[in-house]
């Protein structure tokens, strides 16, 4: 196959490209320039998509003896990921930019360009596996390296994208093995720190970053009875389940901490309450997709497990599509789930599909 290897400049994508070469594929490396003004250097493990990352990717490609290009996707990234991120926070939601990047950049824009140029698939360093069922349908499964499993952020892929995706690291049991393999192959990124935090917010302070894009509009903080107990300078950047940074004027009657339960962007009100009000028993949303073959009749509730954070736990659930909306009944509660987050459905190790959460319902039947 002709493989387009997305090379971030990290160890995972470098080893993925190396394995594709070793498997006999015709491989071309490409680094995505996602910012018009990239930082020159990383700060330890913070940030990515820097000039340093591009140079690391090129060195890896040179070691592997494959062609290497840098493609400018910065405008598409700004429109589809960064602007979406800002708009979601303005609407009082909590977005996941990694999901949007995989959905709209790596496995949409990049894949579309790769297919147009005659490539058969895009290879990345994600920890996940693609398998075939007995009928030949492709399925996305968790990686053997459960501590690094990234199938959650790939839950947005559809069956056509799965056909053109290649994840060479899925059967590897640990990140340590990948680093050792990189060292054995002479790749200079073998001990490079993993990046974390949101790539376009390397300082890690989302609220502070958002101030540059959203005018501050002060509002009030209310308890569940509608009593004002505090003020804020902007609702943007608050998240459901947040405890710190509320600066409440007086303690709760029971003396227990209070958490953000609801964000009302129109009235600029933040509703806070006790931790038990964060126990969510139901999720629902309309922006959904199936990762491969869907259930035989998704209008009938089916058993599954649900995950709402990249490295979070799963809980048993039942889900169905009712009037175009996915309804998920949780058999065990999640805490602090927010509209805008993504619920990924699993059956065993298989990723079944995903939905962007529009509404949640607490065990106390308080709609958030």
CATH code where residue 57 lies: 3.40.50.620
pLDDT at 354 over 80: yes
User: Which of 129, 162, 184 is the C-terminal boundary of a domain?
Assistant: 184
Co-location of 309 and 343 in the same domain = yes
Q: What pLDDT score does 36 carry?
A: 65
311-342: b (≥16 Cβ within 10 Å) or e: eeebbebebbbeeeebbbbbeeebebbbbbbb
Q: What is the DSSP string of 215-281?
A: ----EEEE-TTS-EEEEES-STT--TT--TT---SS--TT----EEEEEETTTTEEEEE-GGGGEEE
Query: 123 to each of 16, 52, 312, how far by Cα in Å?
Result: 7, 21, 25
Q: What is the CATH number of the domain that holds 287?
A: 2.40.30.10
Q: Quick one: CA dihedral 276, 152, 290, 141, positive or negative?
A: negative
Co-location of 149 and 233 in the same domain = no
pLDDT at 40 over 60: no
Q: Of residues 221 and 42, which shows the higher confidence score? A: 221
Q: What one-character DSSP code corresponds to residue 104?
A: I
Most confident of 31-35, 161-165, 213-217, 241-245: 161-165
Co-location of 156 and 53 in the same domain = yes
pLDDT at 366 over 70: no
CB 90 within 8 A of CB 66: no
Q: Of residues 235 and 329, which shows the higher confidence score? A: 329
**35 belongs to a structural domain:** yes
d(C-alpha 348, C-alpha 261), whole Å: 31
pLDDT at 259 over 50: yes
d(C-alpha 237, C-alpha 234), whole Å: 8
Percent of the chain beyond pLDDT 70? Answer: 93
Other Cβ atoms closer than 10 A to 34: 23
**13 belongs to a structural domain:** yes
d(C-alpha 158, C-alpha 293), whole Å: 9
CB 57 within 8 A of CB 9: yes
Co-location of 154 and 283 in the same domain = no
Q: What pLDDT score does 247 carry?
A: 80
Mean pLDDT of the chain: 91
pLDDT at 81 over 70: yes
**205 belongs to a structural domain:** no
Co-location of 245 and 299 in the same domain = no
Q: Which residues contact 274 (CB under 8 A, 6 or more apart)?
A: 252, 254, 256, 258, 259
pLDDT band at 37 (very low <50, low <70, confident <90, very high): low
**203 belongs to a structural domain:** no
Q: Which residues contact 201 (CB under 8 A, 6 or more apart)?
A: 209
Q: What pLDDT score does 207 carry?
A: 85
Nearest Cα to Cα of residue 207 among 258, 251, 242: 242
Q: How many domains does the chain have?
A: 3
Q: What is the CATH number of the domain that holds 224?
A: 2.30.30.280
Co-location of 39 and 172 in the same domain = yes
d(C-alpha 237, C-alpha 253), whole Å: 27
d(C-alpha 271, C-alpha 230), whole Å: 10
**199 belongs to a structural domain:** no
Co-location of 290 and 245 in the same domain = no
**299 belongs to a structural domain:** yes
Q: Which residues pair with 196 in a beta bridge?
A: 46
Percent of the chain beyond pLDDT 90? Answer: 73
Tokens 């949303």 belong to which residue?
Answer: 285
Helix, strand, coil percentages, rounded to 5, for the chain: 25, 30, 45
Q: What pLDDT score does 44 carry?
A: 45
pLDDT at 136 over 90: yes
pLDDT band at 296 (very low <50, low <70, confident <90, very high): very high
Q: What pLDDT score does 364 carry?
A: 66
pLDDT at 45 over 60: no
Co-location of 333 and 264 in the same domain = no
Nearest Cα to Cα of residue 189 among 177, 204, 179: 179
**194 belongs to a structural domain:** no
d(C-alpha 180, C-alpha 184), whole Å: 6
Q: What pLDDT score does 249 carry?
A: 66
Co-location of 164 and 226 in the same domain = no
138 SS3 class:
strand
CB 316 within 8 A of CB 334: no
Kindly report which listed range (68-77, 109-118, 214-223, 337-346) carries the lowest average pLDDT score. Answer: 214-223
Co-location of 90 and 108 in the same domain = yes
User: Which of 273, 295, 320 is the C-terminal boundary of a domain?
Assistant: 273
pLDDT in tens, 142-194: 998 888 899 999 999 999 999 999 999 998 878 999 999 999 999 999 999 88
Q: Of residues 53 and 63, which shows the higher confidence score? A: 63
Co-location of 231 and 171 in the same domain = no
Domain that holds residue 225: 216-273
Q: Annotated active-site positions, please? A: 101, 199
**196 belongs to a structural domain:** no
pLDDT band at 38 (very low <50, low <70, confident <90, very high): low
User: Which of 184, 200, 234 is the C-terminal boundary of a domain?
Assistant: 184
Nearest Cα to Cα of residue 124 among 32, 5, 260, 279: 5
Kindly report which listed range (25-34, 196-205, 239-248, 291-300) carries the lowest average pLDDT score. Answer: 196-205
Co-location of 328 and 240 in the same domain = no
């Amino acid at each position: 196959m002709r493989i387009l290897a997305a090379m971030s400049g990290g160890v995972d994508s470098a080893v993925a490209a190396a394995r594709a070469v070793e498997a006999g594929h015709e491989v071309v490396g490409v680094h995505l320039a996602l910012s018009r003004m990239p930082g020159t250097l990383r700060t330890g493990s913070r940030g990515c998509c820097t000039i340093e990352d591009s140079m690391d990717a090129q060195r890896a490609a040179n070691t592997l003896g494959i062609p290497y290009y840098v493609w400018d996707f910065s405008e598409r990234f700004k429109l589809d990921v960064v602007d979406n991120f800002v708009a979601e926070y303005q609407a009082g939601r909590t977005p996941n930019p990694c999901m949007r990047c995989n959905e709209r950049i790596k496995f949409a824009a990049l894949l579309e360009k790769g297919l147009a140029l005659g490539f058969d698939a895009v290879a990345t360093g994600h920890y996940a596996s693609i398998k075939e069922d007995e009928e030949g349908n492709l399925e996305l499964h968790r990686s053997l390296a459960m501590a690094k499993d990234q199938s959650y952020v790939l839950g947005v892929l559809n069956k056509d994208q799965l056909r053109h995706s290649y994840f060479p690291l899925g059967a590897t049991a640990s990140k340590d093995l990948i680093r050792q393999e990189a060292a054995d192959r002479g790749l200079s990124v073998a001990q490079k720190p993993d990046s974390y935090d949101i790539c376009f917010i390397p300082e890690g302070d989302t609220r502070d970053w958002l101030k540059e894009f959203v005018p501050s509009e002060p509002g009030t903080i209310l308890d569940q009875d509608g009593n004002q107990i505090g003020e804020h300078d902007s609702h943007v950047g608050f998240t459901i389940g947040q405890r710190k940074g509320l600066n409440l004027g007086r303690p709760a009657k029971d003396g227990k901490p209070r958490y953000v339960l609801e964000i009302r962007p129109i009235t600029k009100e933040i509703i806070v309450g006790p931790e038990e009000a964060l126990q969510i028993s139901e999720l629902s949303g309309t922006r959904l997709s199936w990762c491969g073959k869907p259930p035989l009749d998704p209008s009938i509730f089916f058993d599954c497990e649900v995950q709402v954070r990249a490295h979070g736990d799963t809980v048993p659930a039942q889900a169905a599509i009712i009037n175009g909306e996915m309804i998920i009944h949780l058999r065990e509660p999640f805490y602090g789930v927010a509209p805008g987050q993504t619920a990924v459905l699993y059956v065993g190790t298989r990723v079944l599909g995903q939905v962007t959460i529009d509404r949640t319902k607490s065990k106390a039947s308080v709609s958030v």
